[in-house]
Amino acid sequence: MRFIFISILLVFAQFALAQKNVLKSPAPEWVNDISFNEENILEDNGGYQYLLIDYQDNFIKKASFRHFVIKLINSNGIQSNSDISVVFDPSYQKLTFHKISIIRDGQPIDKLELQNFQVFQRESSLERALYDGSLTAVLNLTDVRENDIIEYSYTLTGFNPIYKEIFSNTFYHQYSIPVNRIYNRLIVNNKKEFAYKLFNENIEPQIITNSGNKEYIWNLEAFDFKLYDTNIPSWIDIHKRVSFTSAENWNDIVNWALPLYTFDKRKVEKIAKSITESDSIKQAALDFIRFVQDNIRYLGFEDGINAFKPHQPEKVFAQRYGDCKDKSLLLVALLQSIGIDAHPLLVNTYLKNEILNELPSINSFNHCIACFSIDGRNYVIDPTISYQGGNLDNLSTPNYCYGLMIKKGETGLTQIIPTPKPTIKIDEILSLDSINGNAKFEVSTEYSSAKANSTRDYFNSSSRDVIKKDYTDFYRNLYPRIETATEINLTDKNRKSSNKLFVKENYFVKNIWENSTTPNKIYCEIYPLVLENYINYDQAINRKLPYYLGEPFAFSQTTEVNLPESWNSKNYNFSTENEAFKYSNKIIAYTRYCH
């Protein structure tokens, strides 16, 4: 009975939330009414086809109108499109639906009933410890059938107030599915600067100038869809699109951000003294970095203005958590408190060098780090990396390529000099007790830089039993009868200096020999399994797009095989290289005499 009562309360709460946040009205007067047709339906292209994608943004009224028409071809199309859902932020947005209907045999069936909406707080970035406070309004359509057409439209009114008067967006004019018609319209103030940029041979807009405003209109078919290959670099975008912004240059973005990254220096000085008492500037800076990275957990509440405005350093210090902006501002404030020239640095973790082709925009960045200089040397630190090792000369930072320094007078992007490539060095010793017998297997691995950081993080977040099982299961792919590791030791004495980390493994392999397909022959396989795990790439051919090989690193492995008797073998030497990698392999046969 209690469970039923709670369920009723939850249903009532969802209904009240829907009534409060979802409205119904005719389309705004400023919206152009756009028609559609259902010609050129591609039956073999999936379960549905978009007949119309209609985006109209009014920067003057701070409103975005959306209008979709979808033809349902089969049951898969019904399954994919029978829920109408819209995500919005109630702290500054108002969601108003204008139409939801099913068109069957040319006749519309009205489905827009507010009482049928459910509103949920569905955090899409929960796994990354980010909470944005957005709501999702969902309406489940009933009695949907094959060959129906679903049409719906709505307006989101209100832009994030943190933007002030800087607006930007991107419209796509090509997708991975065919679209009968794409209509995009921008309405901007004729007296304010506005720029747009076309990508991938996109078409120029129709421009209409009215009293006080200007309209940019794209009206096109989009049957020429493009598909992506697997595992492409994150900065590759092959679809036709247009980006637009009201910012004139990067300095506009800097001036917009500067007031957001201010703090009370007197409060920070007290915090700094509680973290380090070192008289060395470099050591104090390193103490601050370690504290922010390891003692301030990563957690962010990204609703409304908090998506862009960091919390004050003293608050982040007291609560012991923050997102990338919070952690970066705290580190910058601590560094400035001892006279170091430090500033936040906005970066894009996906675009890398391609950010140079982007228009100046607030939305050009998805991450914040810190940069500073000591004795004429520049440093770039990502405060969100935990368990990082190395002194200031050996700290590693992901290669974000370029960033925007939040410093008065900055007019362009700053190039980030990449840190040295991480390394992995493996020494294996395989000692065979007899032909067709058993073996001892010892592995010593040295990790440096980012590879040391990730290994340290793994050991700090996993129990030793789990680690032993993971390591043993990995080598079981090569040696099926390997026994669980007797020893896996981590040596991390260089964390504060060179950031080199060492892992020692010991195994016993029963009957390491395998029967060959050739009669009366057995073999023992020696194979660089770890290397294969790093370079096991897709075998697809006839690719049209680049393949992402991963972040650069250096790998070396030496395998010593101790045989129970003399063995006839030959030396071997092979090497090859191209623009993507360099590889060499040597086999050296020798005889060791013991006295």
Instruction: Please report the pLDDT score of residue 7 as a whole number.
Output: 42
Per DSSP, what are the bridge partners of residue 72? Answer: 48
Cα–Cα separations (whole angstroms), residue 277 to 320, 337, 338, 339, 495: 20, 13, 11, 15, 20
Distance CA 131, CA 7 (A): 25
Instruction: Please report the pLDDT score of residue 193 as a whole number.
Output: 81
Mean pLDDT in order along the chain per 10 residues (595 residues): 44 50 95 92 84 96 97 93 93 95 96 93 52 82 95 96 90 94 95 91 94 93 89 94 95 96 94 94 96 90 71 95 95 97 97 96 94 95 92 91 97 93 95 93 96 93 93 94 91 92 95 90 89 80 86 93 84 89 86 51
- The answer to whether 311 and 322 are in contact (CB under 8 A) is yes
Residue 337 CB neighbour total at 10 angstroms: 23
DSSP alpha helix (H) spans, 276-389: 281-295, 313-319, 324-337
Between helix 265-275 and helix 281-295 the angle, nearest 10°, is 90
Instruction: Please report the pLDDT score of residue 525 as a whole number.
Output: 87
- The answer to whether 78 and 72 are in contact (CB under 8 A) is yes
Instruction: Please report the pLDDT score of residue 302 as a whole number.
Output: 57
- The answer to whether 391 and 497 are in contact (CB under 8 A) is yes
* Token pair of 175 as six digits: 């997708």
Distance CA 313, CA 275 (A): 13
For β-strands 300-301 and 130-131, DSSP reports them as parallel
* DSSP strands (E only) in 141-250: 149-157, 168-172, 179-189, 195-199, 206-209, 213-222, 241-245
Instruction: Please report the pLDDT score of residue 11 as a whole number.
Output: 43
Residue 508: strand, helix, or coil:
strand
> DSSP character for 510?
S
Residue 400 CB neighbour total at 10 angstroms: 23
Residue 275: strand, helix, or coil:
helix
Residue 287: strand, helix, or coil:
helix
Cα–Cα separations (whole angstroms), residue 54 to 64, 196, 536: 11, 19, 43
What's the Rg (C-alpha) of the chain?
30
Question: Amino acid identity, residue 115?
Answer: Q
Distance CA 312, CA 308 (A): 13
Distance CA 103, CA 145 (A): 10
Instruction: Please report the pLDDT score of residue 4 as a whole number.
Output: 47
Distance CA 81, CA 50 (A): 11
Instruction: Please report the pLDDT score of residue 430 as a whole number.
Output: 94
Residue 179 CB neighbour total at 10 angstroms: 20
What phi and psi, each to the nearest 5 degrees, are found at residue 485?
A: -50, 135
Instruction: Please report the pLDDT score of residue 581 as a whole number.
Output: 84
Instruction: Please report the pLDDT score of residue 304 as a whole number.
Output: 55
Which residues, 6+ apart, have CB-to-CB distance to 428 below 8 Å? 441, 442, 443, 444, 557, 558, 559, 560
Instruction: Please report the pLDDT score of residue 203 as a whole number.
Output: 94
